[in-house]
């Protein structure tokens, strides 16, 4: 047994959790104050507007998904009115601490966006041909399990590996990340790091890449997660936390054993030259079973290749070994589903995707079968009256 299996699994929380909670609040808010009431039954005929071009307090996808719940008089009003109405409701339904945190974060983000000069503006809009390798684009265009399987390997259950990014795109992203760090150093601006475990790296959403990453999730990742991760809300991913992490000398060394605050995580290596840094996977677990032992067939180690992506459930326990030399930068996209989180909060049954729940369920079935068998044997062998 390797030492990482005995450690307690940490749940890594990102600084983007406000986004997630806001999403949850939005979907569960069906009744509210009398002056600001949403429809209980959504208007499914309504085609929502796009809010991607606006700087908003919450992710643009949340506005689009909430729109069909708007009362008729707001629904026919201007986009600005709709934004104001929905923002008011979301802010009102967040607990006070959370609300001021959301507002502070919005001010923080605005400060970066107005002061930071992007190095490669073309990164900020998603141009598939410049960004992805042709095999990936082809598979997404066909969008079938067969086409995905033709470019993906699944070296361990629930871990999907495929070539995704063009080398030139990786280079541009690396240069942009370097530019972030340079700007942070020069301006002494205190940025929030990606999560509670990484001391280096940056939140891409805070640097203006949020709508690009929204597009990446909606048009390129969700078609795949819909097929491979439907059991954890893969079809309904609606918000994300996007960031880069940096490993090596003067950066983070390794990353302890943990689970992500996501339904599905996309992890792409951007480069550059490095030794070590392997990802180790140790089985998927629900909250109740997060610290249970690893089964031999759940042990899998993956070595990063620049441009290559790994897709896995957030609850798939993992960590990163030390990057012993060079400099490694990875881009991560934690994809979340407010629908899945809402449903999960009501669920008392076994989780279909947890390795331990699966075993417990099997054992329970076995016990029930044994009991039935014994009952039958007893009935048959009982002396006849
Ligand atoms: Zn479980």
Q: How far apart are the CA of 111 and the centre of ligand 1, in A?
A: 42
Q: How far apart are the CA of 330 and the centre of ligand 1, in A?
A: 29
Q: How far apart are the CA of 285 and the centre of ligand 1, in A?
A: 5
Q: Where are the beta strands (DSSP E) in the chain?
A: 10-12, 153-156, 159-163, 202-203, 239-248, 255-260, 264-271, 274-276, 279-284, 299-302, 308-313, 316-320, 323-336
| pTM (2 d.p.) | 0.77
Q: How far apart are the CA of 202 and the centre of ligand 1, in A?
A: 32
What is the structure's pLDDT at 68?
84
Domain range summary for the chain, segments of one domain joined by +: 3-344, 354-385
φ, ψ (nearest 5 deg) of residue 329:
-120, 130
Q: How far apart are the CA of 357 and the centre of ligand 1, in A?
A: 4
One digit per residue, the tens of pLDDT, for the chain of length 385 reads: 444 444 567 777 764 433 333 333 333 333 333 356 777 777 888 888 888 888 787 777 778 878 888 888 888 889 999 998 888 877 777 777 777 888 888 899 999 999 999 999 999 999 999 999 999 999 999 999 999 999 999 999 999 999 999 999 999 999 999 999 999 999 988 899 998 888 889 999 999 999 999 999 999 999 999 999 999 999 999 999 999 999 998 888 989 899 999 999 999 999 989 999 999 999 999 999 999 999 999 999 999 999 999 999 999 999 999 999 999 999 999 999 999 988 888 877 788 899 999 999 889 889 988 999 999 888 888 765 5
Q: How far apart are the CA of 318 and the centre of ligand 1, in A?
A: 16
Q: How far apart are the CA of 345 and the centre of ligand 1, in A?
A: 14
What is the structure's pLDDT at 55?
78
φ, ψ (nearest 5 deg) of residue 105:
-65, -35
Residues 50, 73: Cα–Cα separation, whole Å: 19
Q: How far apart are the CA of 206 and the centre of ligand 1, in A?
A: 34
- The 8-class DSSP code of residue 383 comes to P
Q: How far apart are the CA of 354 and the centre of ligand 1, in A?
A: 5
CATH 1.10.10.10 assigned to domain 3-344? The reply is no
Q: How far apart are the CA of 28 and the centre of ligand 1, in A?
A: 26
Residues 37, 290: Cα–Cα separation, whole Å: 40
Q: How far apart are the CA of 311 and the centre of ligand 1, in A?
A: 21
Q: How far apart are the CA of 355 and the centre of ligand 1, in A?
A: 7
Q: How far apart are the CA of 287 and the centre of ligand 1, in A?
A: 7
Block residue for tokens 């329970």: 364
Q: How far apart are the CA of 364 and the centre of ligand 1, in A?
A: 14
């Amino acid at each position: 047994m390797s030492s990482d299996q005995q450690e307690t699994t940490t749940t890594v929380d990102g600084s983007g959790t406000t986004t997630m909670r806001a999403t949850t609040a939005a979907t569960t808010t069906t009744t509210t104050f009398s002056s600001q009431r949403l429809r209980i039954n959504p208007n499914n005929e309504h085609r929502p507007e796009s809010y991607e071009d606006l700087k908003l307090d919450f992710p643009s996808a949340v506005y689009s998904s909430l729109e069909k719940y708007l009362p008729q008089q707001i629904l026919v009003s201007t986009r600005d009115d709709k934004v104001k109405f929905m923002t008011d409701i979301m802010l009102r339904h967040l607990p006070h601490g959370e609300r001021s945190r959301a507002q502070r974060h919005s001010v923080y983000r605005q400060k970066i966006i107005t002061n930071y000069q992007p190095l490669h503006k073309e990164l900020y809009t998603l141009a598939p041909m410049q960004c992805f390798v042709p095999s990936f684009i082809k598979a997404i265009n066909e969008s079938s399990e067969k086409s995905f399987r033709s470019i993906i390997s699944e070296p361990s259950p629930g871990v999907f590996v495929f070539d995704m990014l063009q080398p030139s795109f990786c280079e541009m992203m690396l240069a942009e990340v370097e530019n972030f760090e340079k700007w942070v150093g020069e301006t002494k601006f205190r940025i929030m790091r990606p999560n509670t475990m990484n001391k280096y790296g940056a939140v891409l959403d805070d640097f203006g890449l949020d709508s690009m990453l929204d597009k990446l999730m909606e048009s390129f990742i969700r078609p795949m997660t819909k097929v491979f991760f439907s059991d954890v809300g893969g079809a309904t991913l609606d918000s994300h936390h996007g960031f880069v992490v940096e490993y090596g000398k003067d950066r983070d060394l390794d990353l302890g054993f943990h689970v992500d605050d996501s339904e599905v995580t996309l992890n792409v290596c951007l480069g550059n030259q490095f030794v070590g840094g392997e990802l180790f996977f140790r089985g998927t677990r629900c909250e109740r079973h997060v610290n249970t032992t690893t089964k031999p067939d759940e042990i899998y180690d993956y070595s990063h290749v620049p441009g290559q992506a790994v897709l896995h459930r957030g609850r798939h326990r993992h960590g990163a070994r030390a990057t012993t030399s060079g400099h490694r930068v990875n881009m991560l996209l934690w994809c979340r589903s407010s629908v899945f989180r809402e449903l999960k909060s009501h669920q008392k049954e076994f989780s279909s995707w947890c390795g331990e729940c699966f075993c417990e369920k099997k054992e329970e079935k076995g016990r029930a079968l044994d009991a039935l068998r014994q009952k039958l044997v007893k009935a048959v062998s009982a002396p006849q009256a």
